[in-house]
């Protein structure tokens, strides 16, 4: 299981999923474990769908939490894949200490590189970023469906992935006030010129209009769309100073058709920060002003790419990219 650092992204940092993997720390894994809503939702879904099935845990992390959850739920066997060498070693220890060394096989490497001894019935994974596809989950699941998932698994067992779905939502936003920054346990640092800030617990009140989905990854058929684009229209609900676009994620763990997700980075206690993509110039909005955001997302390559073109009527306000 993985989460990106809360530090602001910079051009000098390797923002690819593989670069992120090398930076995961014990603190990262602890934050994910201690995100109670996330951990409980995964445990419930894994308990429902693992019994008697062969499971692949993609990115098991130092604690092997999802692999152990599947083993405890009665999976016939679990393959746990982890590319970070230190995390893989710690995962082996965690699996052995829990008494599941005979039921969980740990493979060191990326799921897109390793070969499994057999095909599996169920994929479990939490390689979802604060921007949902930024940690390479789309490419990883598409590859797993082609090389690791047993043909007919969906017909036999119904569910082939936990989680079932992940989305990124976006909204025009103001910059948070001084009270927000004063509330943080650590100061926020950003490199000069950085336009993407990762802000933990960014208040939803900074949004000038209701968030809308701009990325929708369906894992329930193990076939997430790797390229997505559309135009969204936002109407400002109040006057304010537009500073950029705020993004947060949400995850449908057990059922992709639920009316509301079980997990969202907008929830209190979430380990995921929000992302604020900042425009070069601010714009004053009046209540009722319309903005359009044209987005294009490409998850097919080694580096996931996001681009957002922001306009107010005929006025171009800027093009924002993530990573910046």
Residue-wise pLDDT tens digits, 253-295: 999 999 999 999 999 999 999 999 999 999 999 999 999 999 9
Residue-wise pLDDT tens digits, 200-255: 999 999 999 999 999 999 999 999 999 999 999 999 999 999 999 999 999 999 99
Sort 156 into a burial class: Cβ within 10 Å, 0-12 / 13-18 / 19+. exposed
215 shares its domain with 259: yes
Q: Is the pLDDT of residue 154 over 50?
A: yes
How many other C-beta atoms can be found within 10 angstroms of the C-beta atom of residue 74?
12
Q: Confidence class of residue 189 from pLDDT cuts 50, 70 and 90?
A: low
Q: How many domains does the chain have?
A: 2
Q: Is the pLDDT of residue 56 over 90?
A: yes
pLDDT of residue 155: 65
If we measure between CA atoms, which residue out of 169, 164, 174, 192 comes closest to residue 272?
A: 169
Quote the CA–CA distance of 27 and 142 in Å, as a whole number.
29
185 shares its domain with 228: yes
The answer to whether position 302 is within a domain reads yes
Q: Confidence class of residue 190 from pLDDT cuts 50, 70 and 90?
A: low
- CATH code, domain with 224: 2.70.160.11
131 shares its domain with 208: no
Average pLDDT over residues 158-174: 96
146 shares its domain with 214: no
State which of 141, 162, 183 marks the end of a domain: 162
Quote the CA–CA distance of 238 and 173 in Å, as a whole number.
11
Q: Is the pLDDT of residue 4 over 50?
A: no
pLDDT of residue 48: 95
In terms of residue numbers, what domain contains 244?
Answer: 165-322
The helix, strand and coil proportions of the chain, stated in percent and rounded to the nearest 5, come to 25, 35, 45
Q: What is the mean pLDDT of the chain?
A: 93
């Amino acid at each position: 299981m993985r989460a990106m650092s809360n530090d602001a992204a910079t051009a000098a940092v390797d923002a690819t999923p593989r670069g992120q993997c090398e930076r995961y720390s014990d603190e990262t894994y602890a934050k994910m474990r201690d995100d109670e809503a996330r951990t409980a939702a995964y445990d419930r879904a894994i308990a429902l769908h693992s019994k008697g099935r062969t499971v692949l845990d993609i990115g098991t992390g130092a604690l092997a939490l999802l692999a152990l959850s599947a083993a405890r739920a009665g999976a016939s066997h679990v393959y746990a894949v982890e590319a970070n060498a230190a995390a893989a070693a710690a995962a082996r220890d965690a699996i052995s200490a829990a008494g599941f060394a005979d039921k969980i096989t740990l493979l060191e490497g990326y799921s897109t590189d390793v070969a499994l001894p057999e095909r599996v019935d169920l994929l479990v994974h939490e390689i979802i970023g604060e921007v949902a596809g930024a940690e390479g989950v789309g490419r990883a699941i598409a590859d797993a469906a082609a090389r690791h998932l047993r043909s007919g698994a969906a017909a036999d067992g119904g569910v082939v992935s936990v989680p079932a779905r992940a989305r990124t939502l976006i909204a025009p936003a103001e910059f948070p006030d001084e009270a927000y920054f004063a509330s943080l346990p650590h100061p926020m640092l950003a490199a000069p010129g950085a336009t993407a800030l990762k802000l933990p617990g960014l208040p939803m009140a900074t949004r000038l209009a209701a968030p809308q989905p701009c990325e929708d990854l369906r894992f329930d058929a193990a076939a997430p769309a790797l390229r997505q684009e559309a135009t969204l229209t936002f109407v400002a609900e109040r006057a304010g100073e537009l500073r950029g676009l705020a993004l947060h994620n949400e995850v449908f763990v057990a059922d992709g058709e639920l009316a509301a997700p079980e997990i969202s980075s907008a929830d209190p206690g979430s380990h995921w920060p929000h992302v604020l993509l900042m425009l070069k110039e601010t714009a004053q909005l009046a209540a009722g002003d319309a903005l359009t955001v044209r987005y294009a997302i490409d998850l097919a390559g080694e580096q996931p790419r996001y681009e957002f073109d922001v306009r107010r009527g005929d006025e171009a306000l800027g093009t924002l990219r993530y990573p910046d």
